[in-house]
Chains A and B, each alone.
Chain A
Amino acid sequence: MTSSPNRLVAVIFGAVYLLVGLLGFTATAGVGFFDPEGGLLLGIFEVNIFHNIAHLLIGAALLIAGLRNVRAAKTVNTVVGAAYLLLGLIGLFIVDSAANILAINAADNVLHFASAILLLAVGLGAERGTRRGTAAV
Protein backbone atom coordinates (compact mmCIF):
# COMPACT_ATOMS: atom_id res chain seq x y z
CA MET A 1 0.00 0.00 0.00
CA THR A 2 2.80 2.42 0.77
CA SER A 3 4.08 2.16 -2.80
CA SER A 4 0.78 3.38 -4.26
CA PRO A 5 0.28 7.16 -4.21
CA ASN A 6 -3.47 6.76 -4.67
CA ARG A 7 -3.90 4.32 -1.80
CA LEU A 8 -1.62 6.38 0.41
CA VAL A 9 -3.44 9.65 -0.28
CA ALA A 10 -6.82 7.97 0.19
CA VAL A 11 -5.84 6.39 3.50
CA ILE A 12 -4.18 9.53 4.87
CA PHE A 13 -6.87 11.96 3.72
CA GLY A 14 -9.54 9.47 4.80
CA ALA A 15 -8.12 9.15 8.29
CA VAL A 16 -7.60 12.90 8.60
CA TYR A 17 -11.14 13.74 7.44
CA LEU A 18 -12.59 11.15 9.83
CA LEU A 19 -10.64 12.77 12.65
CA VAL A 20 -11.69 16.23 11.50
CA GLY A 21 -15.30 15.08 11.38
CA LEU A 22 -15.15 13.76 14.93
CA LEU A 23 -13.26 16.78 16.27
CA GLY A 24 -15.76 19.01 14.54
CA PHE A 25 -18.39 17.96 17.03
CA THR A 26 -16.35 19.62 19.78
CA ALA A 27 -16.81 22.91 17.96
CA THR A 28 -20.51 22.63 17.18
CA ALA A 29 -22.22 22.52 20.57
CA GLY A 30 -25.37 24.58 20.17
CA VAL A 31 -24.98 24.82 16.40
CA GLY A 32 -27.91 23.70 14.26
CA PHE A 33 -27.75 20.92 11.67
CA PHE A 34 -27.77 23.20 8.61
CA ASP A 35 -26.85 26.33 10.51
CA PRO A 36 -25.04 28.84 8.26
CA GLU A 37 -23.34 30.18 11.37
CA GLY A 38 -21.21 27.30 12.59
CA GLY A 39 -18.49 26.77 15.17
CA LEU A 40 -14.76 27.16 14.48
CA LEU A 41 -12.66 24.00 14.41
CA LEU A 42 -9.07 24.74 15.50
CA GLY A 43 -10.25 28.32 15.62
CA ILE A 44 -10.03 28.58 11.82
CA PHE A 45 -12.32 26.24 9.91
CA GLU A 46 -16.04 26.82 10.24
CA VAL A 47 -18.24 23.73 10.54
CA ASN A 48 -21.80 22.80 11.43
CA ILE A 49 -23.36 19.38 12.08
CA PHE A 50 -24.00 18.71 8.39
CA HIS A 51 -20.40 19.62 7.59
CA ASN A 52 -19.10 17.26 10.29
CA ILE A 53 -21.19 14.41 8.93
CA ALA A 54 -19.98 15.14 5.41
CA HIS A 55 -16.39 14.93 6.64
CA LEU A 56 -17.12 11.61 8.33
CA LEU A 57 -18.70 10.14 5.19
CA ILE A 58 -15.97 11.41 2.87
CA GLY A 59 -13.27 10.27 5.28
CA ALA A 60 -14.81 6.81 5.54
CA ALA A 61 -15.16 6.48 1.75
CA LEU A 62 -11.53 7.50 1.15
CA LEU A 63 -10.18 5.29 3.93
CA ILE A 64 -12.12 2.20 2.85
CA ALA A 65 -11.14 2.68 -0.79
CA GLY A 66 -7.51 3.24 0.14
CA LEU A 67 -7.41 0.07 2.20
CA ARG A 68 -8.95 -1.98 -0.64
CA ASN A 69 -6.93 -1.52 -3.82
CA VAL A 70 -5.48 0.97 -6.28
CA ARG A 71 -8.50 1.10 -8.58
CA ALA A 72 -10.92 1.82 -5.72
CA ALA A 73 -8.59 4.48 -4.36
CA LYS A 74 -8.19 6.11 -7.80
CA THR A 75 -11.95 6.20 -8.32
CA VAL A 76 -12.82 7.63 -4.92
CA ASN A 77 -9.92 10.12 -5.04
CA THR A 78 -11.13 11.42 -8.41
CA VAL A 79 -14.81 11.60 -7.43
CA VAL A 80 -14.13 13.28 -4.09
CA GLY A 81 -11.63 15.62 -5.79
CA ALA A 82 -14.19 16.68 -8.39
CA ALA A 83 -16.84 17.14 -5.69
CA TYR A 84 -14.48 19.28 -3.61
CA LEU A 85 -13.63 21.43 -6.65
CA LEU A 86 -17.31 22.07 -7.22
CA LEU A 87 -17.82 22.70 -3.51
CA GLY A 88 -14.83 25.05 -3.40
CA LEU A 89 -16.27 27.10 -6.24
CA ILE A 90 -19.85 27.08 -4.95
CA GLY A 91 -18.55 27.83 -1.47
CA LEU A 92 -17.21 31.17 -2.67
CA PHE A 93 -20.70 32.18 -3.67
CA ILE A 94 -22.60 31.09 -0.58
CA VAL A 95 -20.32 32.30 2.20
CA ASP A 96 -22.28 34.69 4.46
CA SER A 97 -25.65 33.68 3.05
CA ALA A 98 -28.56 31.54 4.25
CA ALA A 99 -27.76 29.08 1.44
CA ASN A 100 -24.58 28.21 3.33
CA ILE A 101 -25.96 24.97 4.77
CA LEU A 102 -22.47 23.60 5.33
CA ALA A 103 -21.35 26.73 7.23
CA ILE A 104 -18.38 27.20 4.91
CA ASN A 105 -15.94 30.04 5.54
CA ALA A 106 -12.96 31.34 3.56
CA ALA A 107 -10.47 29.00 5.25
CA ASP A 108 -12.71 26.04 4.38
CA ASN A 109 -12.73 27.16 0.75
CA VAL A 110 -8.94 27.22 0.52
CA LEU A 111 -8.69 23.77 2.08
CA HIS A 112 -11.42 22.34 -0.15
CA PHE A 113 -9.81 23.75 -3.28
CA ALA A 114 -6.33 22.50 -2.32
CA SER A 115 -7.72 19.05 -1.42
CA ALA A 116 -9.60 18.99 -4.71
CA ILE A 117 -6.64 19.60 -6.99
CA LEU A 118 -4.43 17.23 -5.03
CA LEU A 119 -6.98 14.39 -5.13
CA LEU A 120 -7.67 14.99 -8.82
CA ALA A 121 -3.97 15.11 -9.70
CA VAL A 122 -3.25 11.84 -7.92
CA GLY A 123 -6.52 10.14 -8.93
CA LEU A 124 -6.25 11.04 -12.59
CA GLY A 125 -2.51 11.31 -13.00
CA ALA A 126 -0.86 8.60 -10.92
CA GLU A 127 -0.92 4.86 -11.60
CA ARG A 128 -2.85 5.27 -14.82
CA GLY A 129 -1.75 1.80 -15.96
CA THR A 130 -4.25 0.17 -13.63
CA ARG A 131 -7.08 1.24 -15.94
CA ARG A 132 -5.90 -0.99 -18.77
CA GLY A 133 -7.55 -4.39 -18.98
CA THR A 134 -10.25 -3.66 -16.44
CA ALA A 135 -13.84 -4.28 -17.43
CA ALA A 136 -15.33 -0.95 -16.55
CA VAL A 137 -14.16 2.35 -15.11
Chain B
Amino acid sequence: MSPITRTWVAFAAVGTGLIHVALVLGSPLPLGIALAVLGLAEFFWGVLTFARDAPPAPRIALAVAVVPLVALGLFTVVAVAGGFTIPSGFLLPLGLATLLEVAAAALLGRALRTSGPAPAPGVGRYLIALFAGAVVVGAITTPALAATTAGANAVPHGEFHFEQTDHGH
Protein backbone atom coordinates (compact mmCIF):
# COMPACT_ATOMS: atom_id res chain seq x y z
CA MET B 1 0.00 0.00 0.00
CA SER B 2 1.45 3.36 -0.97
CA PRO B 3 2.36 5.56 2.02
CA ILE B 4 0.31 8.31 0.43
CA THR B 5 -2.86 6.19 0.27
CA ARG B 6 -2.20 4.86 3.75
CA THR B 7 -1.79 8.37 5.17
CA TRP B 8 -4.92 9.66 3.44
CA VAL B 9 -6.88 6.77 4.95
CA ALA B 10 -5.32 7.64 8.33
CA PHE B 11 -6.26 11.33 8.04
CA ALA B 12 -9.85 10.42 7.23
CA ALA B 13 -9.97 8.03 10.20
CA VAL B 14 -8.62 10.69 12.57
CA GLY B 15 -11.16 13.21 11.30
CA THR B 16 -14.11 10.89 11.52
CA GLY B 17 -13.02 9.69 14.97
CA LEU B 18 -12.90 13.25 16.30
CA ILE B 19 -16.34 14.02 14.89
CA HIS B 20 -17.84 10.87 16.43
CA VAL B 21 -16.37 11.77 19.82
CA ALA B 22 -17.67 15.34 19.54
CA LEU B 23 -21.16 13.96 18.86
CA VAL B 24 -21.22 12.25 22.27
CA LEU B 25 -22.29 15.44 24.03
CA GLY B 26 -26.00 15.91 23.52
CA SER B 27 -26.61 12.29 22.58
CA PRO B 28 -28.67 9.89 24.68
CA LEU B 29 -26.39 7.74 26.85
CA PRO B 30 -26.37 4.42 24.94
CA LEU B 31 -25.72 6.24 21.67
CA GLY B 32 -23.11 8.39 23.36
CA ILE B 33 -21.24 5.36 24.61
CA ALA B 34 -21.30 3.74 21.17
CA LEU B 35 -20.07 6.97 19.55
CA ALA B 36 -17.30 7.40 22.12
CA VAL B 37 -16.01 3.85 21.64
CA LEU B 38 -16.22 4.10 17.86
CA GLY B 39 -14.67 7.56 17.73
CA LEU B 40 -11.74 6.76 19.98
CA ALA B 41 -11.07 3.51 18.12
CA GLU B 42 -11.11 5.35 14.78
CA PHE B 43 -8.84 8.12 16.07
CA PHE B 44 -6.19 5.79 17.45
CA TRP B 45 -6.44 3.45 14.47
CA GLY B 46 -5.79 6.49 12.28
CA VAL B 47 -2.73 7.53 14.28
CA LEU B 48 -1.33 3.98 14.16
CA THR B 49 -2.02 3.83 10.43
CA PHE B 50 0.13 6.84 9.63
CA ALA B 51 2.73 6.06 12.28
CA ARG B 52 3.32 2.44 11.18
CA ASP B 53 4.05 0.66 7.91
CA ALA B 54 0.55 -0.72 7.44
CA PRO B 55 -2.95 -0.10 8.76
CA PRO B 56 -3.69 -2.40 11.73
CA ALA B 57 -6.31 -5.11 11.10
CA PRO B 58 -7.39 -3.68 7.75
CA ARG B 59 -10.27 -6.09 7.13
CA ILE B 60 -11.81 -5.45 10.54
CA ALA B 61 -11.33 -1.73 9.97
CA LEU B 62 -13.13 -2.00 6.66
CA ALA B 63 -16.06 -3.78 8.33
CA VAL B 64 -16.22 -1.15 11.10
CA ALA B 65 -16.14 1.64 8.52
CA VAL B 66 -19.39 0.42 7.04
CA VAL B 67 -21.24 0.54 10.39
CA PRO B 68 -21.78 4.34 10.54
CA LEU B 69 -23.02 4.35 6.96
CA VAL B 70 -25.62 1.72 7.81
CA ALA B 71 -26.49 3.56 11.03
CA LEU B 72 -26.94 6.85 9.19
CA GLY B 73 -29.24 5.15 6.73
CA LEU B 74 -31.26 3.62 9.56
CA PHE B 75 -31.49 6.92 11.44
CA THR B 76 -32.80 8.68 8.38
CA VAL B 77 -35.35 5.98 7.61
CA VAL B 78 -36.58 5.82 11.22
CA ALA B 79 -36.82 9.61 11.46
CA VAL B 80 -38.73 9.96 8.21
CA ALA B 81 -41.05 7.04 9.02
CA GLY B 82 -41.59 8.17 12.60
CA GLY B 83 -42.08 11.78 11.54
CA PHE B 84 -39.55 13.21 13.93
CA THR B 85 -36.60 15.41 13.16
CA ILE B 86 -33.00 14.71 14.02
CA PRO B 87 -31.25 17.93 15.07
CA SER B 88 -28.95 19.29 12.36
CA GLY B 89 -26.29 19.62 15.05
CA PHE B 90 -26.25 15.82 14.98
CA LEU B 91 -27.11 14.94 11.40
CA LEU B 92 -24.71 17.28 9.60
CA PRO B 93 -21.57 16.28 11.51
CA LEU B 94 -22.60 12.61 11.32
CA GLY B 95 -23.08 12.97 7.57
CA LEU B 96 -19.65 14.55 7.15
CA ALA B 97 -18.04 11.89 9.35
CA THR B 98 -19.71 9.20 7.26
CA LEU B 99 -18.41 10.86 4.09
CA LEU B 100 -14.87 10.68 5.43
CA GLU B 101 -15.42 7.10 6.52
CA VAL B 102 -16.73 6.01 3.12
CA ALA B 103 -13.76 7.67 1.40
CA ALA B 104 -11.35 5.90 3.76
CA ALA B 105 -13.10 2.57 3.23
CA ALA B 106 -13.01 2.97 -0.56
CA LEU B 107 -9.27 3.74 -0.54
CA LEU B 108 -8.53 0.95 1.93
CA GLY B 109 -10.64 -1.59 0.06
CA ARG B 110 -8.97 -0.78 -3.23
CA ALA B 111 -5.50 -1.02 -1.67
CA LEU B 112 -6.29 -4.41 -0.12
CA ARG B 113 -7.34 -5.80 -3.48
CA THR B 114 -4.03 -4.90 -5.15
CA SER B 115 -1.27 -7.25 -4.09
CA GLY B 116 2.41 -6.54 -3.76
CA PRO B 117 4.19 -3.52 -2.31
CA ALA B 118 3.60 -0.17 -3.98
CA PRO B 119 6.64 1.75 -5.25
CA ALA B 120 7.82 4.39 -2.78
CA PRO B 121 6.84 7.88 -3.96
CA GLY B 122 9.42 10.65 -4.27
CA VAL B 123 9.68 13.04 -1.32
CA GLY B 124 8.13 15.99 -3.17
CA ARG B 125 5.12 14.03 -4.36
CA TYR B 126 4.68 12.47 -0.90
CA LEU B 127 4.65 15.84 0.86
CA ILE B 128 2.38 17.56 -1.65
CA ALA B 129 -0.08 14.67 -1.52
CA LEU B 130 -0.05 14.65 2.28
CA PHE B 131 -0.56 18.41 2.39
CA ALA B 132 -3.54 18.16 0.02
CA GLY B 133 -5.03 15.32 2.06
CA ALA B 134 -4.57 17.21 5.32
CA VAL B 135 -6.24 20.33 3.96
CA VAL B 136 -9.21 18.37 2.56
CA VAL B 137 -9.74 16.41 5.78
CA GLY B 138 -9.21 19.56 7.87
CA ALA B 139 -11.71 21.52 5.81
CA ILE B 140 -14.35 18.81 6.37
CA THR B 141 -13.58 17.92 9.98
CA THR B 142 -13.25 21.39 11.51
CA PRO B 143 -16.65 22.74 10.44
CA ALA B 144 -18.22 19.38 11.33
CA LEU B 145 -16.79 19.66 14.85
CA ALA B 146 -17.99 23.25 15.15
CA ALA B 147 -21.50 22.19 14.08
CA THR B 148 -21.89 19.60 16.83
CA THR B 149 -23.78 20.33 20.02
CA ALA B 150 -20.46 20.17 21.84
CA GLY B 151 -19.06 22.83 19.55
CA ALA B 152 -22.10 25.05 19.83
CA ASN B 153 -22.48 24.64 23.59
CA ALA B 154 -18.82 25.07 24.33
CA VAL B 155 -18.94 28.82 23.94
CA PRO B 156 -21.54 29.97 26.43
CA HIS B 157 -21.63 33.58 25.39
CA GLY B 158 -23.27 34.68 28.59
CA GLU B 159 -20.63 33.22 30.84
CA PHE B 160 -17.35 34.03 29.16
CA HIS B 161 -17.31 37.77 29.63
CA PHE B 162 -14.69 38.66 32.17
CA GLU B 163 -14.23 42.35 32.66
CA GLN B 164 -14.96 43.45 29.13
CA THR B 165 -18.64 44.33 29.49
CA ASP B 166 -20.20 46.16 32.34
CA HIS B 167 -23.14 44.04 33.43
CA GLY B 168 -22.98 44.08 37.19
CA HIS B 169 -22.29 40.43 38.06
Interface residue? B155 (CB, 8 A): yes
Interface residue? B146 (CB, 8 A): yes
**Assuming A97-B160, A122-B127, A125-B50, is B143 touching A106 (CB within 8 A)?**
yes
Q: How many A-B residue pairs have CB under 8 A?
A: 86
- Counting chain A residues whose Cβ lies within 8 A of the other chain, the interface size class is 20 to 34
**Assuming A4-B123, A98-B161, is B138 touching A110 (CB within 8 A)?**
yes
- Counting chain B residues whose Cβ lies within 8 A of the other chain, the interface size class is 20 to 34
The answer to whether A117 touches B134, judged by C-beta atoms less than 8 angstroms apart, is: yes
The residue of chain B having its C-beta at the shortest distance from the C-beta of A90 within the complex is B154
Interface residue? B27 (CB, 8 A): no
Main secondary structure of the interface of A (DSSP, over half): helix
The answer to whether B141 touches A113, judged by C-beta atoms less than 8 angstroms apart, is: yes
Stretch at the interface among B10-18, B34-42, B65-73, B80-88: B10-18
The answer to whether A121 touches B10, judged by C-beta atoms less than 8 angstroms apart, is: yes
The residue of chain B having its C-beta at the shortest distance from the C-beta of A111 within the complex is B138
Taking the nearest CB of chain B, how far is it from the CB of A116, in angstroms?
Answer: 8
Q: Contacts A2-B123, A96-B155, A122-B127 known; list 11 others, CB within 8 Å.
A: A3-B123, A5-B123, A92-B151, A97-B160, A99-B160, A109-B146, A114-B135, A117-B11, A121-B10, A122-B130, A128-B51
Closest 3 CB pairs of A and B: A114-B138, A93-B154, A97-B160
Which residues on A are within 8 Å of B, measured CB to CB?
2-5, 8-9, 12, 88-89, 92-99, 106, 109-111, 113-115, 117-118, 120-122, 124-126, 128
